[in-house]
Amino acid sequence: MPTRAVLSPDGADFVRVSRQSIFGSGFWAGTRAPVLPLMLRVLGNKVSTVAVANGVIGAVCWGALAFAAASRLRTRAGQAAVFAGVLLVAGSLQVSVWHGVVLAESLSLSLMAALLALVLVVPARWSWPGVAGVAAMGALFVLVRDTNALVGLLLAAIVVAGVAWRRVPLRALVAAAVLVAASLAGMASSSAGDRWLQGLHHVTRDRILASDSGRDWFVARGLPDADLVRSPDGNDYTRGAAFWSDPRLAPYLRWLRRHGRAALATYVLAHPAFLGQGRFAAWSSTFGPRPTLRVYTAYTDSRAPLGSFVNGIVWPESAPVVFPLLLVGMAAGAGAVVFDVDRRRRTFAALGLAGIVVGLGWAVATANLDTAETPRHVIAQLALARLGVLFCVVAATEAGLALARGRKPGTIPGLPPRAAHAGGSSRSSDSASGPADPGTSTPPPSTRTANPPASSSAGS
């Protein structure tokens, strides 16, 4: 675990926001989402303690997820496999590198793990403490990064659907309401602090104006100075604050605030393939293999805690491995959901399948909301998808082994072998005695019982 934190330019902005008045708009609706500045404030704005705090929070959250996931499996082997798998993902360089950087990624990953742990265990009873836990953890997760609001709204919609289908008690709507309120508050904070503006500028400059159709669409809707925006003077990363104060770009920024989101939304509706095309939003850029973290590991001088060989297995970045692994995970999850007779394991596989689909969809959406530093912005999404693969494969493997055991002599499909040998039914007792010879009939248990001793007969 890192013992010191690296302060990047974005990190310096988080520190600046944390020093704003906690009762003012500069804190809650500033240039950064409020959860990390809140943690910095609790730590007394001591940057040196951020790495330790991130590491401790991560250990608690990922440990809770490991225990929660293991509790959903039936066998010790399955429990051990998913427990170890979760901890390996948590220990991978792609997750642990963020503990040593003053950015929101470490908290976003940790809070996602904690929320996923609650989602695994709370629906079993939906107790009031469980509802409160989902609401509180969900609100923190939503407010740590702006794009997390998409997951918060989706989770709230699932809860509402469960209540409508009478599968979830009414009190769960409290958690759904908090998630919706936190998501809307996060969106309002982002809008008030202009946090969305930089991302929209990146999408406009680096993707929309890089194509003829996108350029024509935006210019037709009033975008001014397209050539200036595409020139080096339009690069806010190299120019920094000078870009945002350049009077030549004022008309463009004014148009972007008023009409940019509507222009992008209508363009995507008319050209849906845009969501998966281009240097920054192609599938290879959003979830493999291009979103590598080598730049960040070099910047922080980080080493893989698991070793480079094990890390490459836990978090592969090779296209011939990543894409087949995702397909195997989805196929395994679908098979377990359809064919497994164990409800708890089937639900676990369904959650894993949802993790893959939501993680990848969330990654694509995030990449299209801000094309800058795509690997960093989609890391939580990729972690969710990889956890989904783990859940699906372990659940399907355990289900397959249970089905295979149920077809062997001495067992009953749908019951564990121990129950089959317990004499709970005449069928299990017969099976336990071994298969009968073809052409002979097996006498009933009463005729196979030895005659009572003569002394017993005399005594009776």
The predicted-structure confidence for 114-131, as pLDDT tens digits, reads as follows 999 999 999 999 999 999
Flag whether 56 is in a domain. no
Written as six digits, the tokens of 210 are 């890089």
Look at residue 395 in the predicted model and tell me its pLDDT.
97
Rounded to whole angstroms, the Cα distance separating 128 from 54 reads 29
Confidence band, pLDDT 50/70/90 cuts, at residue 3: low
Per-residue pLDDT at 321 exceeds 80: yes
Of 163-167, 181-185, 373-377, the least confident: 373-377
Confidence band, pLDDT 50/70/90 cuts, at residue 373: low
CA 376, 380, 382: angle at the middle one, nearest 5?
A: 90
Flag whether 69 is in a domain. no
Quote the domain boundaries for residue 247.
197-267
3-state secondary structure the chain: CCCCCECCHHHHHHHHHHCCCCCCHHHHCCCCCCHHHHHHHHCCCCHHHHHHHHHHHHHHHHHHHHHHHHCCCCCHHHHHHHHHHHHHHHHCHHHHHHHHECCCHHHHHHHHHHHHHHHHHHHHCCCHHHHHHHHHHHHHHHHHCHHHHHHHHHHHHHHHHHHHCCCCCCCHHHHHHHHHHHHHHHHHHHHHCCHHHHHHHHHHHHHHCCCHHHHHHHHHCCCCCHHHHHCHHHCHHHHCHHHHHCHHHHHHHHHHHHHHHHHHHHHHHHCHHHHHCCCCCCHHHHCCCCCCCHHHHHHHCCCCCCCHHHHHHHCCCCHHHHHHHHHHHHHHHHHHHHHCCCHHHHHHHHHHHHHHHHHHHHHHHHHHHCCCCHHHHCHHHHHHHHHHHHHHHHHHHHHHHHHHHHCCCCCCCCCCHHHHCCCCCHHHHHHHCCCCCCCCCCCCHHHHCCCCCHHHHHHC
Flag whether 252 is in a domain. yes
The domain total for the chain is 1
Confidence band, pLDDT 50/70/90 cuts, at residue 276: confident
Flag whether 377 is in a domain. no
Confidence band, pLDDT 50/70/90 cuts, at residue 10: confident
Per-residue pLDDT at 287 exceeds 80: no
pTM, to two decimals: 0.83
pLDDT in tens, 25-79: 999 999 899 999 999 999 988 888 999 999 999 999 999 999 999 999 999 999 9
Work out the widest C-alpha separation in the chain, in whole angstroms: 116
Flag whether 7 is in a domain. no
Confidence band, pLDDT 50/70/90 cuts, at residue 354: very high
Of 97-101, 156-160, 325-329, 431-435, the least confident: 431-435
**Average pLDDT value for the chain:** 84
Look at residue 372 in the predicted model and tell me its pLDDT.
62
Flag whether 225 is in a domain. yes
pLDDT in tens, 224-253: 999 999 999 998 877 777 888 999 999 999
Flag whether 337 is in a domain. no
Flag whether 112 is in a domain. no
* Percent over 90 (pLDDT), the chain: 60
Look at residue 280 in the predicted model and tell me its pLDDT.
58
